[in-house]
């Protein structure tokens, strides 16, 4: 190894490189070095062969140099330098063929980069790690999407079966009622049928809704009100105003049964002969909703808020969804149910 930064005949100054750099031949002959390399290998001043500087075998080094000589693009490698008077030091190497000049022939520039200071290597490793994590996340996301699609199919199938089961129960109840025409049995059959019809309306709305977790009041409540009024023979005396308001399936189930009981109660006790009607409305109230069932009848008797056992069911359903039932006499009877939709503000929009 020469004592100058520029070997005679090479015409290449390596002092612009901060890391140790050598000019070598494919045969391992050291033709030149910069100051950093001379400091690394001190006190050796004349080392004609690269093989005497390295811990790797001559065969390994020759193979690396041959591959690097095939291109002017740097070939990445690794070498362990055995410097005089010091412990072996591991370096990341970059070797590339130099363009032939001054008749030099096949020579290479060999740069030794400290593995501790090699920020590009650290960055590349982190990029590879992030890329690997991203690929894993994408794979997991694909599996989750597939599982979600399967679950949606299962939920839709479940809703379909429940809807069919409710219809079958309704048919069985009506068949049972036909065998016993007594007034008491007929009333029980009619009450059970109205409640099942309310549940069937919800199941149909949920089945038609692809999400199957939320449902709009407009998709089921009007049908529930109309069905209850029709079964009581008062379909032409009930008016409803039901907006397109989304709510959770749990709230919808309870609201359908509540509306069925309140409309049935109003038809039985709130219609005064051929005069008067029933008005059903659902409207926003603050952060929640309010269901009103208003009739033009005589109202509730003084000191009582019960006209039928149906109100007992209404109160139980209100407790189930955290709703509040309010009953007042106001030009007839008005039953109001105050409740939350169960959805966050963005979901309600």
Comparing C-alpha atoms, which of 97, 183, 308, 236 is closest to residue 335?
A: 308
Comparing C-alpha atoms, which of 213, 177, 172 is closest to residue 196?
A: 172
Predicted confidence band at 100 (pLDDT cuts at 50, 70, 90)?
Answer: low
pLDDT tens column, 53-71: 888 999 999 999 999 998 8
pLDDT tens column, 227-247: 888 888 888 889 999 998 888
Alpha carbon of residue 182 to chain centroid: 57
pLDDT tens column, 192-227: 777 777 777 777 777 776 655 688 888 888 888 988
Which residues make Cβ contacts (< 8 Å) with residue 110, sequence separation at least 6? Answer: 21, 22, 23, 24, 50, 93, 94, 95
Residue 276 in 3-state DSSP? coil
Q: Which of 60-64, 192-196, 318-322, 329-333 has the lowest mean pLDDT?
A: 192-196
- Report whether pLDDT(177) > 70: no
Instruction: Judge contact between 236 and 213, C-beta under 8 A.
Output: no
Q: Which of 45-59, 92-106, 134-148, 315-329 has the lowest mean pLDDT?
A: 92-106
- Report whether pLDDT(257) > 60: yes
- Report whether pLDDT(293) > 90: yes
- Report whether pLDDT(336) > 50: yes
Predicted confidence band at 289 (pLDDT cuts at 50, 70, 90)?
Answer: very high
Highest mean pLDDT among 118-122, 229-233, 276-280, 342-346: 276-280
Percent of the chain with pLDDT over 70: 72
Confidence at residue 9, expressed as pLDDT on a 0 to 100 scale: 41
Which residues make Cβ contacts (< 8 Å) with residue 338, sequence separation at least 6? Answer: 285, 288, 289, 290, 323, 324, 326
């Amino acid at each position: 190894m020469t004592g100058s930064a520029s070997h005679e005949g090479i015409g290449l100054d390596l002092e612009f490189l901060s890391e140790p750099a050598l000019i070598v031949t494919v045969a391992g002959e050291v033709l030149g070095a910069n100051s950093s390399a001379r400091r690394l290998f001190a006190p050796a001043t004349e080392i004609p062969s690269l093989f005497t500087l390295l811990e790797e075998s001559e065969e390994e080094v020759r193979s690396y140099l041959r591959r690097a000589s095939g291109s002017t693009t740097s070939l990445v490698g690794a070498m362990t330098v055995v410097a005089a008077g010091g412990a072996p030091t591991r370096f990341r190497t970059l070797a590339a063929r130099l363009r032939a000049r001054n008749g030099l022939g096949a020579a290479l520039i060999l740069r030794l980069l400290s593995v501790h200071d090699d920020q590009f290597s650290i960055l590349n490793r982190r990029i590879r790690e992030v890329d690997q994590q991203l690929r894993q996340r994408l794979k997991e996301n694909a599996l989750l999407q597939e599982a979600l699609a399967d679950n949606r199919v299962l939920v839709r199938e479940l809703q379909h079966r429940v809807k069919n089961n409710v219809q079958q129960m309704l048919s069985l109840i009506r068949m049972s009622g036909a065998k016993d025409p007594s007034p008491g049995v007929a009333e029980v059959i009619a009450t059970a049928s109205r409640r099942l019809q309310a549940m069937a309306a919800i199941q149909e709305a949920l089945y038609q809704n692809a999400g199957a977790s939320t449902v709009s009041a407009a998709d089921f409540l009007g049908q529930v009100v109309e069905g209850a009024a029709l079964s009581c023979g008062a379909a032409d005396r009930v008016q409803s105003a039901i907006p397109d308001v989304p709510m959770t399936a749990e709230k919808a189930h309870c609201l359908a049964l509540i509306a069925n009981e309140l409309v049935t109660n109003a038809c039985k006790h709130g219609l005064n002969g051929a005069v008067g009607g029933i008005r059903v409305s659902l409207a926003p109230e603050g952060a929640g909703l309010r269901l009103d069932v208003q009739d033009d009848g005589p109202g509730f008797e003084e000191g009582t808020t019960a006209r039928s056992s149906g109100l007992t069911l209404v109160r139980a359903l209100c407790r189930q969804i955290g709703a509040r039932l309010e009953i007042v006499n106001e030009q007839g009877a008005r039953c109001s149910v105050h409740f939350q939709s169960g959805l966050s503000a963005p979901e309600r929009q």
